[in-house]
Amino acid sequence: MALITASPPVQAPATPDYVAIKQRQQATWASGDYSAVGTTLQIVGETLAEAIDLRADEAVLDVAAGNGNATLAAARRFARVTSSDYVPALLERSRARAEAEHLPVQYEVADVEALPFEAGSFDAVLSTFGVMFAPDHERAASEMARVVRRGGRIGMANWTPASCIGRLFKIIGAHVPPPAGVRSPALWGSEAHLATLFGARAQVIRVRHKHFNFRYRSAAHFVQVFRDYYGPTHKAFAALDANGQAELERDITALLNEFDVGKGRGLVVPSEYAEVVITVG
């Protein structure tokens, strides 16, 4: 008779503590000064506003708006814009930019996973490299779809997994591991993941792959700017000792050199992103 030894019980994966994760993320994005990097991405907000065919007087919500690239793009097209983020300091940066251009924008401190708006309140919801950092992907997608009217649009710009910035996330995670259970933000640049998140709520999901060119003096210049101002990189360097910082800098520099197409006349690093337009059913 064979002796059967009972296997130890299989433990289910731990459910991520989204409250703690979000608190950590808020501290990350409040560190440094994202606007120093964010303003260089303004062209993405402009092209996204064109991609979703924004019209004057449409009600538009920018979620995880940061320093307001999509916010300003929509307001420049005479939309009625509400700009939201869960980091108040970032909204203040956006407010200053809007006031400088005399653009009327309403600002709301709000979490994309718990938007304080009625269902169907907006003709369009926008996000440029913002919602992709929400830890609970399903909840964020559900909230975006909820507040858009039937037939309205969701427009997003999300870094893809294989892009330079997608690879940068992997490098940072290798040096400073993220909390257990947190999925990569670059999944939002995957068509399969978008279909999973929005499929039941979408009439149409259209994805175009585009590139944004990061232009800096050199790889060292890029690293210094991202180390000083870009929250995830800023926090990663701060969490490491001197040896760890040197290793992180080495790995980021190697990544930049791999992608650089500047031919010695300044750093030019194309990073692929998904320009997403979803028509809500």
pLDDT digits (tens, 9 = 90+) for 186-211: 999 999 999 999 988 999 999 999 99
Q: Which two tokens stand for residue 194?
A: 């978008």
Q: Using CA atoms, how far apart are residues 204 and 188, in angstroms rounded to an integer?
A: 16
Considering the chain, what is the average pLDDT of its residues?
Answer: 93
Q: Where are the domains of the chain?
A: 18-160+182-214+272-280
- The answer to whether the CB of 281 falls within 8 A of the CB of 203 is yes
Q: Which helix (H) or strand (E) holds 268?
A: strand 267-280
Exposure class string for 138-174: b at 16+ Cβ within 10 A, else e:
eebbbbbbbbbeeebbbbbbbbbbebbbbbbbebbee
CA 117 to mean position of chain CA atoms = 21
- The answer to whether the CB of 270 falls within 8 A of the CB of 259 is yes
Percentage above 90 pLDDT, the chain: 86
Q: How sure is the predictor about 8, in pLDDT bands with cuts at 50, 70 and 90? A: very low
255-270: per-residue pLDDT in tens? 999 999 999 999 999 9
- The answer to whether the CB of 179 falls within 8 A of the CB of 24 is yes
* Superfamily the domain 18-160+182-214+272-280 falls into: Vaccinia Virus protein VP39 (3.40.50.150)
Greater confidence (178 vs 255) lies with: 255
